[in-house]
Structure 1
């Protein structure tokens, strides 16, 4: 049994490249979307929950209290562009393209290329119903950062019930 199998921590896939968390503190490929939390450029206390749907590239962007983003009217706003850029840094362009089902034609791409392909497909504006669960997961991740480092198990991270010894 290896060291990581005996500890209460699991291996984490490292980022494709290091990224700064100030602008986009949370990004994930989940629930059929590229989604995440993006800081406001004008108000330090405001964040936006942005997403792009797999295949259709339907996009949504709203504040954490569900007010619509003024820049996401008919096309990608700067929050969504920042989200795509950070997703490429976190996961790599090829993984993001595969997940979103983006055909770049020639192979390797960057965030600007992926964004261009999606915009050229004229995506529709999607609904913002996913904003609440995405923001909730972001807050849960923040709570873990406040915990003191330990190798003791966390109850909410124990996915399997304890097994009983058979007599």
Structure 2
């Protein structure tokens, strides 16, 4: 847009939010996102209410990582997807829909009526390797940031930390 006209997204101060494919319960997987070339999120422990797992699967290679919130490796993620990664994929399919998750992860799902199990089966059939747990801290930090917004009182006033959203002013 070299003529000085601003595009629609440049004139807007909002970002389009994609509604969930289906409503989901947040108790087991409170945070799931398709970001940074991975499906990643936070999964609650089934045995300890104070523990969560930060799990991820890389798009294309399906390299996976799972560790606790204090960066201890998951006991079930040795050479195969653990139950936390299975739960993460399942909730991602509920949140985003199977087509979007499969497309993002670069999974070829050939089932007539595909579901989360088909996405998991397609990835594990390639025998993915364990990936780097380095991103876990960033994912967990983003999760905690999202939780902090839940503690705020309802308001229409701007939030200073959200200053990075696009504005209507042209940058010189």
Task: Determine whether 1:59 maps to 2:64.
Answer: yes
C-alpha deviation, 1:107, in angstroms: 6.0
State the alpha-carbon separation in 2 of the partners of residues 32 and 107 from structure 1: 27
The answer for the alignment partner of 1:17 in structure 2 is 22
Q: Deviations over 1:59-78 (max 9, x none)?
A: 00000111000000110000
The answer for the alignment partner of 2:105 in structure 1 is 100
Q: Which one has more relative contact order, counting CA pairs under 8 Å at least 6 apart? A: 2
Equivalenced residues, count: 160
The answer for the alignment partner of 1:152 in structure 2 is 157
Q: Deviations over 1:35-78 (max 9, x none)?
A: 00000000000000000000000000000111000000110000
Kindly report the root-mean-square deviation, in angstroms, between the aligned alpha carbons of the 2 structures: 2.2
C-alpha deviation, 1:105, in angstroms: 2.7
Find the partner of 2:117 among 109, 112, 124. Answer: 112
State the alpha-carbon separation in 2 of the partners of residues 44 and 82 from structure 1: 16
State the alpha-carbon separation in 1 of the partners of residues 167 and 38 from structure 2: 31
TM-aligned CA distance change 1:153 to 1:100, over 3 Å = same
State the alpha-carbon separation in 2 of the partners of residues 45 and 8 from structure 1: 38
Find the partner of 1:42 among 41, 47, 52. Answer: 47
State the alpha-carbon separation in 1 of the partners of residues 32 and 167 from structure 2: 30
Find the partner of 2:147 among 142, 147, 154. Answer: 142
For 1:115, what is the secondary structure of its paired residue? Answer: helix
Runs of 4+ in 1 over 3 A off after TM superposition: 7-11, 160-163
With the length of structure 2 as denominator, give the TM-score of the two structures: 0.86
More divergent stretch after superposition (108-117 vs 15-24): 108-117
| Structure 2 unaligned residues grouped into runs of 5+ | 1-11
